Amino acid sequence: MTDRYAVFGHPIAHSKSPLIHAAFARQTGQDMTYEAILAPKDGFAGSVAQFIAAGGRGANVTVPFKEQAFALANRRSPRAEHAGAVNTLVFDSCGILGDNTDGAGLVADLSHNLNCAIAGKRVLLLGAGGAARGGIGPLLDQQPAALVIANRTISRAQALAELFGHGITACGFNAANMPFDLVINATAASLAGELPPLSPRVFTADTLAYDMMYGRDTPFLAFARSHGAATADGLGMLVEQAAEAFYLWRGVRPDTAPVIASLRQDRLEGESL
């Protein structure tokens, strides 16, 4: 029987996950379907229960349900515990396993697709929300020389630094004013078309500026470019986190490069991502 998977969100119509997983399934010959489910804002758990009853084997979870998915899982991976949020669910005979593949997706995109080794680098992470928190553990695993978390609300950055330890520095945006090798924008500023109040001194010609946001150029990327940095958006992260989820469900690693290339081509041809 064909195995069923889905992504739950609200809204969900914009999601590229069905396209990405359909491409992975074709490429690897897996007998599965993957659909987008609009869960009511106050009905996430009920929607998931219905899907499981209808034979669902696993799911991705996106905004605004990642914390609810964390609570719903009766077992969680260490990286989900670290992230405090779940973006991937596995339904099995023991119940619901919650995992978080966002941080692994970020690191895979940086190291495999963008050839940006993190070991020994000075990394500035902007933001202290869910995406930033999910990235910290996988970034630390790569042993950067330094990891600085800058956030608008400094206390949230400090709370993350305390949670993870390992000599992470927390500060406000104005205190991050020295050069970094890698600057990752994990704030939601780009979603609103805004630029985090960042010193241009964080960028040099050797800096990679990475915005987790994807689908359009952002004020952060334009600002970084205008100060000489190389830039990348989060489309590769989106595909890599999906590949990691696919591997959890199916035990097969898809080749992400052609899927990223095809999504970039769609964007060039004017489709919104």
Would you tell me which residues interact with ligand NDP (CB under 6 A)?
102, 105, 127-132, 151-153, 156, 186-192, 194, 196, 212-214, 234, 237-238, 241
As measured in angstroms, the least distance from the Cβ of 10 to ligand NDP is: 14
Tokens 């339904």 correspond to what residue?
91
Residue closer to ligand NDP (CB basis): 145 or 175: 175
Q: Which residue of the set 66, 79, 82, 133 is catalytic?
A: 66
Q: Is 228 annotated as a binding residue?
A: no
62 is in an annotated binding site: yes
* AA letter at 251: G
Nearer to ligand NDP, 132 or 139 (CB): 132
Report the nearest approach of ligand NDP to the CB of residue 2 (Å). Answer: 27
Least spacing, CB of residue 69 vs ligand NDP, in Å = 13
Decide whether 58 or 135 has the Cβ nearer to ligand NDP. 135
Among this protein's residues, is 66 annotated catalytic?
yes
152 annotated among ligand-binding-site residues: yes
214 is in an annotated binding site: yes
Enzyme catalytic residues: 66
